[in-house]
């Protein structure tokens, strides 16, 4: 069992999950818990098994083995009531182009037993001013906000977000992050799949890395792969140009440099491995 797992207060509980397509083992015995109210990011290269795993959790794909509980229910046996308790935002949608956001939300609200009000949802996703704009007139970022609006309309306890900011410019991505953080503040549990490592670092309480169908790491973004205790690189500009040293005691090194340079160290930078550094090493090691 990987570090950070617990069966208490879990929105998602997975034990020994397996899935095979012919000779290909897509998922090879995954154990996982996602806690109530957390944002959990699932990372992995294409073909690693994260999409298959997510679709099994959503109830869209069958499994070959293992135990799965999502909101206390086996998704393979779930009914309409269970489906109303989850929200799903797919990677891309191109429908509802003829309807306004308000019309789209009002139409879908009828499918849920206890939907949020249309006005509340428009406000949450920042589309109040676009409530009467046709879908095909929305920008890419606004369209993505409408996708999320439809995903949270049913007041879900658990929200699945699949690559939510693909194609966004940096400013639109940061605005979208604020939206996701606001949903977490309302108590929504969120499972996020993303290729943007800075997105996982910004949003996720914990990160899981899937490679070759296995969960190879599970921890907080700051501690994943031991990055919090890894050697630091201290770099600065010396008399003859750039200098650097790798060390387990960066504070001591900086103190020595400060003494050497009379307080201010030219172009001083102290850096530990980034989330991207440790993620790529995990993927390489699992290859």
For 215-257, the pLDDT digits (tens) are 999 999 988 888 877 888 999 999 999 999 999 899 999 999 9
**Proportion of the chain above pLDDT 90, given as a percent:** 58
| Token pair in block for residue 155 | 């007041």
Cβ(7)–Cβ(14) under 8 Å?
Answer: no
pLDDT at 86: 94
- Span of 42-56, 114-128, 161-175, 240-254 with lowest mean pLDDT: 161-175
Confidence of residue 55 (pLDDT cuts 50, 70, 90): very high
Confidence of residue 287 (pLDDT cuts 50, 70, 90): low
Inform me whether the pLDDT recorded for 2 exceeds 60.
Answer: no
Domain assignment of residue 1, yes or no: no
Q: Are residues 14 and 146 in the same domain?
A: yes
Q: Are residues 39 and 129 in the same domain?
A: yes
Q: Are residues 128 and 199 in the same domain?
A: yes
Start-to-end CA distance of the chain, whole Å, equals 21
Confidence of residue 145 (pLDDT cuts 50, 70, 90): confident
pTM of whole model > 0.85? Answer: no
Q: Are residues 129 and 258 in the same domain?
A: no
C-alpha atoms less than 13 angstroms from C-alpha of 171 in its C-beta half-sphere: 1
Q: Are residues 200 and 257 in the same domain?
A: no
Nearest CA-CA partner of 187 in 11, 8, 5: 11
Distance CA 69, CA 72 (A): 5
- Average model confidence (pLDDT) across the chain: 88
pLDDT at 93: 62
Beta bridge partners of 30: 17
The number of folded domains in the chain is: 2
Give me the DSSP letters along 107-149: HHHTT-SSPPPHHHHHHHTT-GGGTTS-GGGS-HHHHHHHHHH
Q: Are residues 152 and 248 in the same domain?
A: no
User: What is the SS3 string spanning 202-216?
Assistant: HHCCEEEEEECCEEE
Q: Are residues 210 and 74 in the same domain?
A: yes
Point out the domain boundary residue: 187, 206, 224. 224
Q: Are residues 174 and 249 in the same domain?
A: no
Q: Are residues 162 and 262 in the same domain?
A: no
pLDDT at 6: 39
Domain assignment of residue 240, given as a range: 227-286
Beta bridge partners of 269: 235
Q: Are residues 62 and 164 in the same domain?
A: yes
Point out the domain boundary residue: 224, 248, 263. 224
Can you tell me which residue has the tokens 């900011």?
A: 165
Q: What is the CATH number of the domain that holds 188?
A: 3.40.50.300
Q: Are residues 136 and 234 in the same domain?
A: no
Q: Are residues 193 and 256 in the same domain?
A: no
pLDDT at 119: 94
| Token pair in block for residue 249 | 């005691």
């Amino acid at each position: 069992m990987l570090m950070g797992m617990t069966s208490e207060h879990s929105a998602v509980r997975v034990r020994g999950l397996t899935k095979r397509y012919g000779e290909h083992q897509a998922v090879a015995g995954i154990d996982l818990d996602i806690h109530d109210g957390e944002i959990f990011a699932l990372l992995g290269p294409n073909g690693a098994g994260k999409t298959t795993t997510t679709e099994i959790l959503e109830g869209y794909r069958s499994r070959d083995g293992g135990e799965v509980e999502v909101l206390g229910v086996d998704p393979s046996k779930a009914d309409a009531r269970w489906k109303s308790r989850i929200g799903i935002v797919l990677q891309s949608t191109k429908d509802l182009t003829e309807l306004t956001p308000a019309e789209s939300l009002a139409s879908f609200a009828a499918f849920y037993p206890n939907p949020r009000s249309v006005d509340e949802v428009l406000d949450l996703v920042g589309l109040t001013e676009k409530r009467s704009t046709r879908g095909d007139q929305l920008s890419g970022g606004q369209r993505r906000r409408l996708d999320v609006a439809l995903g949270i309309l049913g007041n879900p306890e658990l929200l699945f977000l699949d690559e939510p900011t693909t194609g966004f410019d940096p400013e639109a991505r940061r605005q979208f992050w604020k939206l996701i953080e606001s949903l977490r503040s309302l108590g929504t549990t969120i499972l996020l799949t993303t290729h943007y490592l800075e997105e996982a670092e910004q949003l996720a309480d914990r990160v899981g890395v899937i490679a070759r169908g296995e969960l190879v790491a599970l921890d907080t973004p700051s501690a994943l792969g031991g990055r919090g205790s890894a050697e630091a690189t201290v770099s600065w500009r010396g008399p003859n140009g750039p200098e650097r040293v790798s060390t387990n005691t960066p504070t001591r090194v900086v103190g020595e440099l400060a003494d050497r340079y009379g307080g201010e160290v030219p172009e001083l930078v102290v850096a530990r491995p980034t989330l991207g550094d440790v993620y790529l090493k995990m993927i390489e090691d699992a290859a």
